[in-house]
Amino acid sequence: MFSRRNFLKSAALTSVMVGAGKRLGARDRTPVPAKNNPIVVSTWDFGKVANAGAWNVLGNGGRALDAVEAGVKIAEADPSVQTVGYGGLPDRDGFVTLDASIMDENHNCGSVMCLEHIMHPISVARMIMEKTPHIALAGEGALQFALANGFTKMNLLTPASENDWKEWMKKARYIPEKNIENRLYSREDDPMPGGPENHDTIGMLALDAAGNLSGACTTSGLAYKIHGRVGDSPIIGAGLYVDNEAGAATSSGVGEEVMRIVGSHLVVEYMRSGLAPDMACKKTVERLIKINPEKCKTIQVGFLALSRNGAYGGYSIQPGFTYAVKSDRTEQIFKANSYYQ
């Protein structure tokens, strides 16, 4: 079994070809599409399949908001992606709890936190955004809202994820330690399942033909987390932020660190001040490292950004963070530059 956070292995793997898309370094990026050329970007290798779903909407002149919802739903429904939606790894008590957020070009946003039993939390987040005066619903209340609005209750714990959790239980000390995230993200002792095609949160950003940006972010969060833990992904500004005048950003990695600096909002503000997306992500990662240089030696956080003109880029603390891009002229997976090599 591959470890989910084995940076050394994953860094080596980023030099190989995946599907039709060749991995390229940041400097090899294709030219920036002209304004209003649709484009979609998303985190990790599995973003490529999700982007294809989003492209069915974007490529036909559809709205970025519809595209990102359709795109991330593919990852949510895929049981082989053990970090998102159905088949996601459970918390340490065996419950699959999901976080998701969505945001459009008009600062409309919605999110769900610690939602159980619903395959598509992103659609619940969108419904909260569109049908209620609120932005976020959590836990049992979020579930009741979903069930009252036509979502179906189901068991999200697949036999594979249940088995991985039981294996983890054999070794786990099962103590809510302060340093639980360091243990989970350690390079040497990484108990988290999931191969190089099976990484982390999906954050997706899209620009449509009308020149509008939207974003979506959905995850099962840290595997074997304490029950009730909420990460950065459903926190507007932390795991996801969209401002049509500046750009959009999303994140993956240790959510606690992203929340501490409201990371995606910071990336967007750096773009507003004139930085290119990759530089905006880099400056944000440097902020994390400045705040806690010791912790950042062992954890991973990656940011992905899309400007209002369709330029894109990412940057991470550790090597191994990848993102997928789809437009009418490219379909590729890129390896983001990182602070540590």
The residue count for binding ligand ASP (CB under 6 A) is 12
Respond yes or no: is residue 14 known to be catalytic.
no
Among 69, 116, 232, 278, binds ligand ASP (CB under 6 A): 232
When the beta carbons of 127 and 299 are compared against ligand ASP, the nearer one is 299
Among 255, 263, 277, 313, binds ligand ASP (CB under 6 A): 255
Using CB under 6 A as the binding rule, whether residue 257 contacts ligand ASP is answered as no
Using CB under 6 A as the binding rule, whether residue 231 contacts ligand ASP is answered as yes
Using CB under 6 A as the binding rule, whether residue 200 contacts ligand ASP is answered as yes
CA angle (288 as vertex; 218, 309 as ends), nearest 5: 60
Q: Which of these is catalytic: 83, 201, 219, 250?
A: 201
When the beta carbons of 206 and 217 are compared against ligand ASP, the nearer one is 217
Select the span of 9-17, 113-121, 247-255, 313-321 touching ligand ASP (CB under 6 A): 247-255
Using CB under 6 A as the binding rule, whether residue 253 contacts ligand ASP is answered as yes
Select the span of 12-20, 135-143, 217-225, 311-319 touching ligand ASP (CB under 6 A): 217-225
Using CB under 6 A as the binding rule, whether residue 243 contacts ligand ASP is answered as no
Select the span of 90-98, 214-222, 269-277, 331-339 touching ligand ASP (CB under 6 A): 214-222
Q: Which residues bind ligand ASP (CB under 6 A)?
A: 200-201, 219, 221-222, 231-233, 252-255
